[in-house]
Amino acid sequence: MIDINTPDWVKHAVFYQIFPDRFAKSQSLIKPNNLEPWDSLPTTEGYKGGDLLGVVEHLDHIQSLGATAIYFTPIFQSASNHRYHTHDYYQVDPLLGGNAALHTLLTEAHKRDIKIVLDGVFNHTSRGFFQFNDILENGPHSPWLDWFLVEDWPLSAYDGDKPANYVSWVGNRALPKFNTDNPQVREFIMQVAEYWIEQGVDGWRLDVPFEITTEGFWQEFRQRVKAVNPTAYIVGEVWRDARQWLQGDQFDGVMNYLFTSAVIAFTAGTRVVRELVEDRSYDPMPAIDARTYAERIDALLQLYPWEITLTQLNLLDSHDTTRLLNIASGDKASVRLATLLLMTYPGAPSIFYGDEIGLPGGQDPDCRRPIPWDQPETWDTNVLRYHKELIALRHAHPVLRTGVYQGLYADEAVYACTRTNTDETLLVAVNVAEEARSVTIMTNTIFGTSDNVKTLFGEGTYTLQTGQLILNLPRRSGIVLG
Look at residue 443 and tell me whether its pLDDT is greater than 80.
Answer: no
Of 241, 247, 237, whose CA–CA distance to 212 is shortest? 237
What confidence category does residue 155 fall into, taking pLDDT thresholds of 50, 70 and 90? very high
State the pLDDT at residue 107: 98
Of 307, 389, 316, whose CA–CA distance to 350 is shortest? 316
Q: How far apart are alpha carbons 77 and 96 in whole angstroms?
A: 9
165 within 8 A of 156, measured Cβ to Cβ: yes
Average pLDDT over residues 447-462: 82
Look at residue 442 and tell me whether its pLDDT is greater than 60.
Answer: yes
Q: How far apart are alpha carbons 147 and 182 in whole angstroms?
A: 7
- Return the CA Rg of the chain: 23
Q: How far apart are alpha carbons 159 and 334 in whole angstroms?
A: 45
CA distances from 171 to 107, 167, 393 (A): 40, 7, 46
Degrees, nearest 5: CA angle 134-136-139 = 90
Of 112, 120, 134, 128, whose CA–CA distance to 71 is shortest? 120
Q: How far apart are alpha carbons 335 and 432 in whole angstroms?
A: 11
State the pLDDT at residue 322: 98
Who contacts 61 (Cβ-Cβ below 8 Å, separation ≥6)?
none
Task: For 7-49, write each residue's pLDDT tens digit.
Answer: 999 999 999 999 999 999 999 999 999 999 999 999 999 999 9
Look at residue 178 and tell me whether its pLDDT is greater than 60.
Answer: yes
Average pLDDT over residues 93-116: 98
Look at residue 446 and tell me whether its pLDDT is greater than 70.
Answer: no
CA distances from 422 to 271, 402, 449 (A): 40, 11, 18
**Residue 233: strand pairing partners:** 203
State the pLDDT at residue 256: 98
Q: How far apart are alpha carbons 226 and 172 in whole angstroms?
A: 33
State the pLDDT at residue 466: 76
Q: How far apart are alpha carbons 143 and 14 in whole angstroms?
A: 45
Listing DSSP states for 240-285 in one string gives: S--GGG-SSSS-SEEB-HHHHHHHHHHHTGGG--GGGTTTSSS---
Q: Which residues are catalytic?
A: 207, 237
300 within 8 A of 258, measured Cβ to Cβ: yes
Who contacts 102 (Cβ-Cβ below 8 Å, separation ≥6)?
52, 75, 92, 96, 199
Average confidence score pLDDT of the chain: 96
400 within 8 A of 341, measured Cβ to Cβ: no
Q: What are phi and psi of 286, to 5 degrees?
A: -75, 170
Q: How far apart are alpha carbons 131 and 135 in whole angstroms?
A: 7
Q: How far apart are alpha carbons 101 and 109 in whole angstroms?
A: 12
Q: How far apart are alpha carbons 206 and 120 in whole angstroms?
A: 5
* Domains along the chain with CATH numbers: 8-123+180-396 (3.20.20.80), 404-481 (2.60.40.1180)
**Residue 155: strand pairing partners:** none
What confidence category does residue 467 fall into, taking pLDDT thresholds of 50, 70 and 90? confident
CA distances from 409 to 166, 212, 292, 364 (A): 54, 42, 12, 37
What confidence category does residue 449 fall into, taking pLDDT thresholds of 50, 70 and 90? low
Average pLDDT over residues 236-260: 98
Residue 398's Cβ-side half-sphere holds a number of Cα atoms within 13 Å equal to: 6
Who contacts 90 (Cβ-Cβ below 8 Å, separation ≥6)?
76, 192, 195
Who contacts 48 (Cβ-Cβ below 8 Å, separation ≥6)?
21, 22, 25, 35, 36, 38, 42, 81, 370
What confidence category does residue 445 fall into, taking pLDDT thresholds of 50, 70 and 90? low
Average pLDDT over residues 216-229: 98
Look at residue 296 and tell me whether its pLDDT is greater than 70.
Answer: yes
Average pLDDT over residues 229-257: 98
Average pLDDT over residues 452-461: 92
